[in-house]
């Protein structure tokens, strides 16, 4: 009886051991299979997603003069996205992305749109697509403000991903929820950065307006200088302007136009029926006009 119990116990131990080994092997196989599929998915969209992110970055104004702080933020934002959609592969893909920030390359939007539609639209779920768009918004705001070109690009990519306009708006709301929750760094610091962008933009506009007014004033003064300096011209040049009937401030086009108009008025053929004397006077007048024009053009 004791021997029988002993054999039963041994048998149970062997069964349990084999069962554990079997479960472990099956689990290992499943895990390996899942990771293989995961890597395949990552490779399928690898270049396209990176191209999407780089396209947003390239639309950042004055990217070449931005400090390392902005570019480091871009790297962090990309890493969060890659980590969410690709897990272990995130670090490698982030490094590739970061290396391309300073490279002189152009992303063709039409080609990018086509690749997104072909490689991502039907092969990945909403969560994957959402993370891409959220990261695009984060990258656009890395310097403080998303430009109209960046917003337009996000809209194009959203459509290429197969997302509706309403859905894209919801994803933008998700981005702001994460932003305010501190998922992309200190929100207060972001607000300061954004306010600084608006201040810089206002300053840039003010500088442009100032430069525009300065040029207008300069042109006005230049014109006035020409008008007031008529008496300082040589007698020959004064006479030339008088012959054409124009001011020294006249532009080259105005001078040419006036010469053409006068020559048309005093063309000798117009006086062919008024006798030789009138033809001679018209001819002399035309010669005087041409001579005056030549003098003026030499001194313009």
pLDDT tens digits, 9-33: 555 555 545 544 444 343 333 333 3
**136 and 93 Cβ atoms separated by less than 8 Å:** no
Among 105-114, 138-147, 218-227, which stretch is predicted with the lowest mean pLDDT? 218-227
The pLDDT, as a whole number, for residue 29 is 37
**Please, which residues have CB within 8 angstroms of residue 252's CB and are 6 or more apart in sequence?**
297, 300
The pLDDT, as a whole number, for residue 223 is 53
Among 36-40, 123-127, 280-284, which stretch is predicted with the lowest mean pLDDT? 36-40
- Residues 86-101 pLDDT 10s: 777 778 888 888 888 8
For residue 174, pLDDT beyond 90: yes
The pLDDT, as a whole number, for residue 92 is 84
The pLDDT, as a whole number, for residue 34 is 32
For residue 264, pLDDT beyond 60: yes
- Residues 189-227 pLDDT 10s: 888 877 777 777 666 666 666 566 666 665 555 555 554
Q: What is the pTM of this model?
A: 0.54
For residue 243, pLDDT beyond 80: yes
Q: Mean pLDDT throughout 290-300? A: 87
């Amino acid at each position: 009886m004791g021997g029988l119990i002993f054999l039963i116990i041994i048998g149970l131990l062997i069964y349990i051991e084999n069962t554990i080994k079997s479960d472990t092997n099956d689990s290992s196989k499943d895990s390996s299979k899942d990771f293989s599929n995961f890597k395949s998915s990552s490779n399928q969209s690898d270049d396209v997603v990176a191209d999407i992110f780089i396209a947003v970055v390239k639309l950042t104004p004055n990217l070449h003069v931005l400090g390392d702080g902005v570019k480091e933020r871009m790297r962090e934002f990309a890493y969060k996205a890659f980590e969410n959609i690709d897990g272990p592969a995130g670090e490698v893909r982030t490094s590739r992305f970061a290396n391309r920030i300073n490279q002189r390359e152009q992303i063709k939007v039409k080609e990018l749109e086509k690749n997104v539609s072909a490689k991502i639209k039907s092969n990945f779920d909403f969560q994957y697509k959402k993370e891409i768009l959220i990261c695009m918004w984060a990258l656009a705001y890395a310097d403080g403000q998303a430009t109209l070109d960046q917003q337009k690009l996000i809209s194009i990519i959203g459509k290429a991903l197969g997302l509706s306009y309403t859905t894209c708006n919801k994803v933008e709301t998700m981005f702001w929820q994460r932003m305010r929750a501190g998922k992309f760094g200190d929100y207060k610091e972001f607000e300061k950065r954004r306010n600084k962008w608006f201040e810089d933009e206002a300053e840039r506009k003010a500088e442009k307006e100032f430069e525009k007014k300065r040029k207008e004033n300069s042109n006005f003064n230049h014109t006035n200088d020409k008008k007031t300096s008529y008496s300082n011209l040589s007698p020959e040049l004064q006479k030339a302007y008088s012959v054409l009937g124009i001011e020294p401030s006249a532009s080259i086009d105005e001078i040419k136009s006036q010469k053409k108009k006068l020559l048309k008025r005093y063309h000798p053929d117009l006086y062919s029926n008024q006798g030789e004397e009138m033809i001679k006077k018209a001819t002399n007048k035309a010669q005087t006009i041409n001579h005056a024009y030549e003098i003026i053009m030499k001194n313009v």
